[in-house]
């Protein structure tokens, strides 16, 4: 194997920043089955405490907005969307789930600089900036974003992963 990059050395193996696109796979049953399976494996690892999650506060808006959009598009009914929102609230209560508020953990100017420097949207930059701040791996289901990050060689700053490559964590117990 090759040498690890500085970003890989700094990232804790079980510390993740999740893009909202990954979280929506838990609820949208018409998404590709393979991606939904990988996202469910990740959710199982979250629920079991095997991974530590960091999300910015905009994650709540993006997931909630995605669920509302799914109702409008008839991808979910209102009951399913309400159940999904209840599950989201349950995730927020987990001890291994960390919600980072924009007024405490990061500043708009820092994120804007990050977005302009790496040519990504402000919203994507919020997640990417958080990943660098928490030394966590960034996981996304947005294939175009992932491929862009690979081409842009952001691996010097952070480690980005595509949910389609997720493998369940092994239990730490013997």
Q: May I ask the CATH class of domain 6-165?
A: alpha beta
Q: What is the pLDDT of residues 83-115, one digit of tens each?
A: 999 999 999 999 999 999 877 766 788 899 989
Task: Supply the pLDDT for residue 12.
Answer: 62
Contact 54, 130 (CB under 8 A): yes
Query: Across-strand partners of 140?
Result: 162
Instruction: Classify residue 133 by burial, with Cβ atoms within 10 Å: 0-12, 13-18, 19+.
Output: middle
Is it the case that residue 82 has pLDDT exceeding 60?
Answer: yes
Longest dimension (CA), the chain: 49
Is it the case that residue 74 has pLDDT exceeding 90?
Answer: yes
User: Which of 47, 40, 44 lies closest to 25, judged by CA?
Assistant: 40
Q: Tokens 């990943």 appear where?
A: 131
In eight-state DSSP terms, residue 155 is: G
Q: What is the pLDDT of residues 10-52, one digit of tens each?
A: 446 799 999 999 999 999 999 999 999 999 999 999 999 999 9
Q: Where are the beta strands (DSSP E) in 49-136?
A: 52-56, 97-100
Q: Predicted confidence band at 67 (pLDDT cuts at 50, 70, 90)?
A: very high
**Which sequence spans correspond to the domains of the chain?**
6-165
Q: What backbone phi and psi angles, to 5 degrees, belong to 5?
A: -75, 165
Residue 121 vs residue 169, higher pLDDT: 121
Task: Supply the pLDDT for residue 104.
Answer: 74
Q: What is the pLDDT of residues 106-151, one digit of tens each?
A: 678 889 998 998 899 999 999 999 999 999 999 999 999 999 998 8
Task: Supply the pLDDT for residue 169.
Answer: 85
Q: Where are the beta strands (DSSP E) in 47-96?
A: 52-56
């Amino acid at each position: 194997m090759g040498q690890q990059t500085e970003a890989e050395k700094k990232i804790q193996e079980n510390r993740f920043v999740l893009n909202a696109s990954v979280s929506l796979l838990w609820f949208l049953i018409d998404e590709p089955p393979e991606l939904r399976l990988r996202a469910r494996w990740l959710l199982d690892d979250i629920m079991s405490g095997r991974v530590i999650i960091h999300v910015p506060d905009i994650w709540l808006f993006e997931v909630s907005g995605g669920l509302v959009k799914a109702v409008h598009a008839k991808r979910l009914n209102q009951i399913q969307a309400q159940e999904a929102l209840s599950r989201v609230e349950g995730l927020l209560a987990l001890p291994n789930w960390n919600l980072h508020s924009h007024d405490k953990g990061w500043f708009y100017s820092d994120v804007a600089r990050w977005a302009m420097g790496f040519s990504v949207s402000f919203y994507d930059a919020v997640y990417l900036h958080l990943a660098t701040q928490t030394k966590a791996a960034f996981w996304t289901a947005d294939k175009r974003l992932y491929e862009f990050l690979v081409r842009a060689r952001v691996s010097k700053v952070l480690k980005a992963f595509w949910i389609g490559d997720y493998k369940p964590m092994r239990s730490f117990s013997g």
